[in-house]
Amino acid sequence: MSARIEVRFAELAEKGRAGLVTFLTAGDPDPETSREILMGMTDAGADLIELGMPFSDPMADGPAIQLSSQRALAAGASMQTTLALVREFRKSDDATPIILMGYYNPIYIYGPDKFLNDAAEAGVDGLIIVDLPPEEDELLAPLKSSGIDLIYLTAPTTDDARLPVVVKNAGGFVYYVSITGITGTKSAVQSDIASAVARLKRATDLPIAVGFGIRTPDQAAEVAECADAVVVGSALVSELASNIGAGCAAAVHKLVRELAAGVARADKPK
Which residue of 26, 79, 99, 124 would you call a contact of other proteins, by CB under 8 A?
79
Q: Does 155 bind other proteins (CB under 8 A)?
A: yes
Candidate segments 33-41, 182-190, 193-201, 227-235, binder of other proteins by CB under 8 A: 182-190
Q: Does 60 bind other proteins (CB under 8 A)?
A: yes
User: Would you call the peptide bond into 29 cis, given omega within 30 degrees of 0 as the criterion?
Assistant: yes
CA distance 117 to 225: 37
Q: Can you tell me which of 185, 187, 190, 216 binds other proteins, judged by CB under 8 A?
A: 185
Can you tell me the distance from the alpha carbon of 124 to that of 53, in angstroms, rounded to the nearest whole number?
12
Q: Which part of the chain contacts other proteins (CB under 8 A), choosing from 4-12, 26-34, 178-186, 235-243?
A: 178-186
Residue 93 catalytic?
A: no
- Respond yes or no: is residue 50 known to be catalytic: yes
- Looking at beta carbons only, is 110 or 173 nearer to other proteins? 110
Residue 152 makes contact with other proteins by CB under 8 A:
yes
Beta strands 229-232 and 208-211: pairing type? Answer: parallel
- How many CB atoms are located within 10 Å of the residue 114 CB? 11
Span near other proteins by CB under 8 A; candidates 74-82, 187-195, 234-242, 252-260 = 74-82
How far apart are CB 39 and other proteins at their closest, in Å?
24
From residue 21, how far is each of 14, 78, 106, 134 by CA, in Å? 17, 23, 23, 23
3's enclosing H/E stretch is: helix 3-15
Q: Side by side, which strands form the sheet with 229-232?
A: 149-150, 126-129, 98-102, 48-52, 19-25, 229-232, 208-211, 174-177, 153-154
- How crowded is residue 146: how many other Cβ atoms within 10 Å of its Cβ? 21
- Taking CB under 8 A as the rule, does residue 142 contact other proteins? no
173 contributes a contact to other proteins by CB under 8 A: no
Catalog residues that contact other proteins under the rule CB under 8 A: 54-60, 62-63, 66, 70, 73, 78-80, 103-110, 130-133, 135-136, 152-159, 162, 166, 177, 180-182, 185-186
